[in-house]
């Protein structure tokens, strides 16, 4: 099925080692040196102009969609303006580290060391964050209470209004900026936006020139024609509105690429791709300009481009987010603005692209509504059966409720989608981000030790009572809520301080061009210029906490088999002197994920409590914080720093991930998992993540596949938010650990993303293997 062109492009991509390039860092450093003393927006505009007009223009062999961040695919520029300190510390060890290593050649290294690093100390966003946030909040990271984002990467979690770029072109946006300037002629911010618009068109123009140049020397007539067409397209978009499918795809990609050059943000997501692309495809199809096959090939080429993008991360971040992929969440399906079914031809062509190419990016998310055709659900399941961990499936109907609960209008909620792993977001109008994770299992550890860490002895929370005083579940819950609130306060201080730092020194002008609200208010995205601003925090360890509280409730209060302090003392010593107790807790306690109300209520209550506590905190725009139940891979480093827990988990072992049951404890099959998770109020959160693992046999044949589809449908009937699946035998994973070279293309689902199994560090691999297989 897959064409020679795509085979070649894919092989090249898969065979290339991730590599760091100095070019962007040199340009941005020079630009900042040239603009000392100017307004931050002027400096950013100058820096982006320098990058876009001077970076290497790269058109790879056989490409139909062009524009690259680095000379080789899977390459990463450096973004020293955010944090140069980590680069200095780690540049020599990047190639050897366990988590997401990157090569860097001596020449690039030398340039970075001599021309980039000396300039930045004291001038980075990171420096500003350190000034803004309390020390305690940073130290809590070493304790395993939090993980903070933003310290070395930009905030991100951006879904811009790509549709606006395609429909109006930069010229259309320029008209809007000029209109705003008329009212406010001296506004430097708006002037900077104009400068950026011309820089982006200059960037595209350079690609048009390069394509023309390559065409001149091209001996292959077919390719020569392709290059001329590429040149024509690049001279039109994104400056002008797209007039065809090919132009729409290229216009999209240019803007997406520019966002990736602007900042090293997390999760710059294409969002509801099929919605804004389909009109162009239908028009071309009607006019006979393009065939379905040709359009599929262009989409496949775009898929390769998505998979090329990666960002080198600082070491600790690489542990909490241990992946080369960059959370480019591409949504298909869902509803239209008017509430009718949004599934279209492009939705199916995206599924097809992933089926044919099996790449780790983009992260394909299927938004499934009761109004979606059954075909869409079943085709999503067929892709699931391929075992690439994709797509993730989302409940489009609950998504609308969740977005409206967070203040979106009905229409904006219907147009909303998913960003990052599973986070709900408006499209092109929302500043939605979480600054990292809160370790809820550690909060419970503090609760059971009177506010003190069991691993370091440091008093992290208020004294809420010793085990002797906590003589009922009500008292434990009251204490637990106090501890969560205290940690949320610390995390909130960090979040606010960090956001203030970005707002002060790091406007993101390209992003702001395509986010509704920013031009109108002449306020940057980072300054709260978006129409909606939804702050969130992620809670980690739901399953571990549920099983721990479930065990305490059962053995201490219901069965009265032991006093609470027998458990807490054993936790202190990592069960060294009470192994019998550990086995009892582990094997005889009630376990979350088996449709057992006894313990499931603990998880329901935990999420409800977390949601309630966070509502009491707000951002500068007075929006309350929302709860998001995802770990990415933070449940591993958090686990390492968390003492033994009351569910029999040993110290340093991984915590549970997402809202999934504790690894291997869901013994009653997938329907029981679904029933359990259906008890959670997903709409009240800003996203929940449920991982499930199935053996390939369970999905064999049309009949079983349909039953699998029904399982998903029931979860969504019950109000579930998200599900993702690994369809792979345990034996295969064990084999892949032993002979990684034979399993280079084995993709599996980790957290909110898929990744090559053999590229993961050993502890992430082990954790994935330990999750329960749902077999026959």
Does position 562 interact with another protein (CB under 8 A)? The reply is: no
Q: Quick one: which of 61, 616, 710, 742 contacts another protein (CB under 8 A)? A: 710
Does position 459 interact with another protein (CB under 8 A)? The reply is: no
Q: Which stretch binds another protein (CB under 8 A): 15-23, 136-144, 408-416, 710-718?
A: 710-718
Residue ranges of E strands in 362-416: 363-368, 392-395
SS3 content of the chain, % helix, strand, coil (to 5): 50, 10, 35
Q: How far is the CB of 546 from another protein (least distance, A)?
A: 18
Q: Say how far apart CA 241 and CA 248 lie, in whole Å.
A: 8
Contact 450, 616 (CB under 8 A): no
Q: How far is the CB of 669 from another protein (least distance, A)?
A: 4
Does position 669 interact with another protein (CB under 8 A)? The reply is: yes
DSSP 588-613: HS--TTSS-HHHHHHHHHHHHHHHHH
The tokens for 223 are 């390719």
Q: Quick one: which of 524, 595, 763, 767 contacts another protein (CB under 8 A)? A: 595
131 is annotated as an active-site residue: no
Does position 587 interact with another protein (CB under 8 A)? The reply is: yes
Instruction: Kindly tell me which of 540 and 599 has the beta carbon lying closer to another protein.
Output: 599
Does position 714 interact with another protein (CB under 8 A)? The reply is: yes
Q: Say how far apart CA 691 and CA 3 lie, in whole Å.
A: 33
Rg (CA), the chain: 26
Q: How far is the CB of 709 from another protein (least distance, A)?
A: 9
Which runs of consecutive H residues, i.e. helices, occur in 522-561? 542-551
Q: How far is the CB of 372 from another protein (least distance, A)?
A: 15
Angle between helices 374-385 and 345-357 (to 10 degrees): 10
Q: Say how far apart CA 208 and CA 211 lie, in whole Å.
A: 5
Q: Given 358, 415, 421, 506, which residue is catalytic?
A: 421
Q: What residues does 536 pair with on adjacent strands? A: 434, 626
Please state whether beta strands 392-395 and 417-419 pair in parallel, antiparallel, or not at all (unpaired). unpaired
Angle at the Cα of 566 (from 561 to 567), degrees rounded to 5?
90
Q: Say how far apart CA 269 and CA 267 lie, in whole Å.
A: 6
Q: How far is the CB of 444 from another protein (least distance, A)?
A: 22
Q: Which stretch binds another protein (CB under 8 A): 96-104, 492-500, 666-674, 745-753?
A: 666-674
Instruction: Kindly tell me which of 188 and 718 has the beta carbon lying closer to another protein.
Output: 718
Q: Quick one: which of 713, 729, 735, 770 contacts another protein (CB under 8 A)? A: 713
Q: Given 423, 445, 527, 657, which residue is catalytic?
A: 423
Q: Say how far apart CA 773 and CA 776 lie, in whole Å.
A: 10
Q: How far is the CB of 734 from another protein (least distance, A)?
A: 20
Q: How far is the CB of 586 from another protein (least distance, A)?
A: 8
421 is annotated as an active-site residue: yes
Does position 634 interact with another protein (CB under 8 A)? The reply is: no
Instruction: Kindly tell me which of 669 and 740 has the beta carbon lying closer to another protein.
Output: 669
Per-residue contact string for residues 332-371; x = within reach of another protein by CB under 8 A: ----------------------------------------
Per-residue contact string for residues 274-313; x = within reach of another protein by CB under 8 A: ----------------------------------------
Q: How far is the CB of 357 from another protein (least distance, A)?
A: 30
Q: Which stretch binds another protein (CB under 8 A): 146-154, 201-209, 357-365, 700-708?
A: 700-708
> CA torsion, points 320, 443, 555, 471, in degrees to nearest 10?
180
Q: Which stretch binds another protein (CB under 8 A): 167-175, 537-545, 649-657, 714-722?
A: 714-722
Q: Say how far apart CA 44 and CA 411 lie, in whole Å.
A: 34
Does position 706 interact with another protein (CB under 8 A)? The reply is: yes
Return the residues of window 253-272 that contact another protein according to CB under 8 A: none
Does position 378 interact with another protein (CB under 8 A)? The reply is: no
Q: Say how far apart CA 692 and CA 725 lie, in whole Å.
A: 5
Return the residues of window 313-332 that contact another protein according to CB under 8 A: none
Does position 584 interact with another protein (CB under 8 A)? The reply is: yes
**Count of residues that bind another protein according to CB under 8 A:** 29
Does position 774 interact with another protein (CB under 8 A)? The reply is: yes
Q: Quick one: which of 668, 732, 737, 770 contacts another protein (CB under 8 A)? A: 668
Q: What residues does 736 pair with on adjacent strands? A: none
Q: Quick one: which of 93, 225, 671, 745 contacts another protein (CB under 8 A)? A: 671
Q: What residues does 537 pair with on adjacent strands? A: 627
Helix (H, G, I), strand (E, B), or coil: what is residue 311? coil
Q: Which stretch binds another protein (CB under 8 A): 468-476, 493-501, 635-643, 662-670?
A: 662-670
The helix (run of H) or strand (run of E) holding residue 533 is strand 532-540
Q: Say how far apart CA 265 and CA 155 lie, in whole Å.
A: 6
Does position 580 interact with another protein (CB under 8 A)? The reply is: yes
Does position 438 interact with another protein (CB under 8 A)? The reply is: no
Instruction: Kindly tell me which of 120 and 715 has the beta carbon lying closer to another protein.
Output: 715
Question: Cα separations (Å) of 280 from 67, 96, 246, 536?
Answer: 21, 46, 8, 35
Helix (H, G, I), strand (E, B), or coil: what is residue 471? coil
Contact 592, 547 (CB under 8 A): yes
Does position 375 interact with another protein (CB under 8 A)? The reply is: no
Q: Quick one: which of 5, 452, 588, 605 contacts another protein (CB under 8 A)? A: 588
The tokens for 301 are 């080429």
The tokens for 641 are 């720093």
Does position 702 interact with another protein (CB under 8 A)? The reply is: no
Q: Tokens 């481009």 belong to which residue?
A: 305
Q: How far is the CB of 588 from another protein (least distance, A)?
A: 6
Does position 711 interact with another protein (CB under 8 A)? The reply is: yes
Does position 109 interact with another protein (CB under 8 A)? The reply is: no
Does position 237 interact with another protein (CB under 8 A)? The reply is: no
Q: Quick one: which of 691, 698, 724, 761 contacts another protein (CB under 8 A)? A: 698
Q: Say how far apart CA 686 and CA 416 lie, in whole Å.
A: 12
Does position 670 interact with another protein (CB under 8 A)? The reply is: yes
Does position 56 interact with another protein (CB under 8 A)? The reply is: no
Does position 224 interact with another protein (CB under 8 A)? The reply is: no
How long, in residues, is the chain? 776
Q: Which of 360, 429, 428 is nearest to 392 (CA)?
A: 360
Which runs of consecutive H residues, i.e. helices, occur in 314-434? 315-320, 345-357, 374-385, 396-405, 410-414
Q: Which stretch binds another protein (CB under 8 A): 372-380, 545-553, 632-640, 709-717?
A: 709-717
Q: Which of 225, 255, 241, 245 is nearest to 298 (CA)?
A: 245
Per-residue contact string for residues 717-756; x = within reach of another protein by CB under 8 A: xx--------------------------------------
Q: Quick one: which of 583, 615, 616, 744 contacts another protein (CB under 8 A)? A: 583
Does position 579 interact with another protein (CB under 8 A)? The reply is: yes
Does position 466 interact with another protein (CB under 8 A)? The reply is: no
The helix (run of H) or strand (run of E) holding residue 19 is strand 19-20
Helix (H, G, I), strand (E, B), or coil: what is residue 483? helix
Q: Tokens 């966003």 belong to which residue?
A: 125
DSSP 261-285: HH---S-B--BSHHHHHHHHHHHHH
Which residues, including other chains, have CB under 8 Å from residue 629's CB and lie 6 or more apart? Answer: 538, 539, 542, 607, 610, 658, 659, 685, 687, 688, 689
Does position 691 interact with another protein (CB under 8 A)? The reply is: no
Does position 672 interact with another protein (CB under 8 A)? The reply is: yes
What is the DSSP secondary structure assignment for residue 331, as one 8-state letter?
A: E
Q: What is the contact surface with another protein in residues (CB under 8 A)?
A: 579-584, 587-588, 595, 668-672, 674-675, 698, 703-704, 706-707, 710-711, 713-714, 717-718, 774, 776
What is the set of active-site residues? 421, 423
């Amino acid at each position: 099925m897959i064409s020679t062109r795509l085979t070649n492009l894919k092989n090249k991509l898969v065979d290339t080692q991730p590599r760091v390039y100095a070019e962007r860092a040199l340009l941005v450093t020079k630009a900042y040196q040239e603009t000392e003393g100017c307004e931050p927006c002027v400096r950013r505009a100058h820096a982006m102009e320098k990058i876009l007009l001077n970076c290497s223009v790269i058109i790879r062999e056989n490409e139909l969609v062009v524009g690259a961040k680095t000379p080789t695919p899977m390459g990463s520029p450096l973004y020293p303006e955010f944090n140069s300190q980590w680069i200095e510390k780690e540049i020599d060890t990047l190639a050897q580290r366990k988590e997401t290593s990157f090569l860097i050649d001596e020449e690039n290294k030398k340039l970075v060391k001599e021309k980039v690093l000396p300039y930045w100390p004291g001038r980075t966003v990171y420096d500003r964050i350190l000034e803004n946030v309390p020390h305690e909040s940073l130290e809590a990271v070493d304790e395993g209470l939090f993980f903070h984002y933003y310290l070395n990467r930009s905030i991100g979690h951006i879904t811009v209004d790509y549709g606006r770029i395609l429909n109006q072109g930069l010229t259309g946006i320029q008209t809007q900026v000029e209109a705003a300037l008329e009212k406010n002629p001296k506004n430097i911010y708006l002037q900077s936006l104009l400068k950026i618009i011309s820089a982006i068109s200059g960037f595209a123009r350079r690609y048009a020139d390069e394509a023309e140049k390559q065409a001149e020397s091209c001996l292959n007539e077919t390719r020569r024609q392709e290059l001329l067409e590429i040149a024509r397209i690049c001279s039109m978009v994104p400056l002008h509105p797209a007039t065809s499918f090919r132009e729409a795809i290229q216009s999209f990609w240019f803007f997406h690429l520019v966002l990736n050059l602007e900042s090293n943000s997390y999760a710059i997501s294409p969002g509801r791709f099929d919605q804004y692309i389909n009109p162009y495809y239908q028009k071309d199809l009607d006019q006979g300009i393009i065939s379905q096959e040709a359009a599929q090939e262009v989409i496949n080429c775009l898929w390769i481009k998505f998979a090329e993008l990666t960002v080198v991360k600082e070491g600790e971040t690489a542990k909490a987010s241990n992946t080369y992929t960059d959370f480019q969440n591409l949504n298909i399906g869902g509803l239209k603005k008017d509430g009718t079914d949004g599934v279209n031809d492009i939705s199916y062509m995206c599924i097809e692209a992933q089926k044919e190419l099996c790449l780790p990016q983009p992260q394909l998310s299927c938004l499934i509504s009761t109004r979606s055709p059954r075909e869409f659900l079943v085709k999503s399941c067929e892709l699931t059966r391929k075992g690439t961990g994709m797509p993730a499936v989302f409940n489009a109907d609950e998504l609308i409720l969740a977005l409206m609960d967070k203040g979106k209008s009905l229409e904006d909620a219907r147009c909303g989608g998913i960003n990052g792993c599973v986070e709900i977001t408006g499209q092109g109008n929302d500043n939605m981000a979480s600054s990292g994770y809160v370790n809820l299992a550690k909060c419970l550890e503090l609760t059971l030790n009177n506010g003190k860490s069991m691993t370091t002895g440091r008093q992290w929370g208020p004294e809420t009572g010793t085990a002797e005083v906590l003589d009922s579940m009500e008292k434990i819950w009251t204490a637990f809520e106090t501890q969560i609130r205290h940690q949320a306060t610390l995390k909130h201080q960090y979040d606010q301080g960090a956001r203030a730092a970005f707002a002060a020194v790091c406007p993101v002008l390209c992003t702001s061009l395509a986010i509704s609200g920013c031009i109108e208010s002449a306020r940057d995205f980072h300054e709260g210029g978006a129409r909606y601003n939804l702050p969130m925090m992620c809670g980690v360890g739901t399953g571990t906490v549920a099983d721990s509280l479930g065990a305490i409730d059962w053995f201490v209060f219901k069965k009265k088999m032991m006093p609470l302090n027998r458990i807490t003392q054993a936790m202190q010593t990592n069960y060294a002197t009470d192994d019998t107790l550990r086995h009892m807790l582990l094997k005889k306690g009630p376990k979350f994920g088996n449709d057992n109300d006894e313990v499931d209520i603990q998880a329901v209550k935990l999420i409800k409590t977390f949601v309630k506590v966070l509502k009491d905190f707000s951002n500068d725009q007075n929006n309350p914080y929302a709860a998001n139940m995802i770990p990415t891979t933070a449940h591993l480093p958090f686990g390492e720093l968390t003492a033994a827990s009351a569910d029999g988990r040993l110290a340093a072992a991984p915590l549970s991930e997402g809202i999934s049951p504790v690894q291997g404890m869901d013994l009653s099959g997938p329907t029981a998992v679904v029933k359990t998770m259906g008890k959670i109020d997903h709409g009240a959160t800003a996203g929940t993540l449920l991982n499930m693992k199935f053996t390939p046999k369970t999905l064999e044949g049309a009949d079983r596949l349909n039953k699998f589809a029904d399982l998903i449908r029931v979860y969504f009937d019950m109000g579930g938010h998200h599900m993702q699946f690994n369809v792979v035998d345990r034996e295969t994973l064990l084999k892949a650990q032993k002979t990684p070279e034979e399993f280079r293309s084995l993709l599996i689902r980790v957290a909110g993303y898929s990744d090559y199994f053999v590229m993961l560090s050993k502890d992430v691999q082990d954790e994935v293997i330990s999750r329960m297989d749902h077999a026959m």
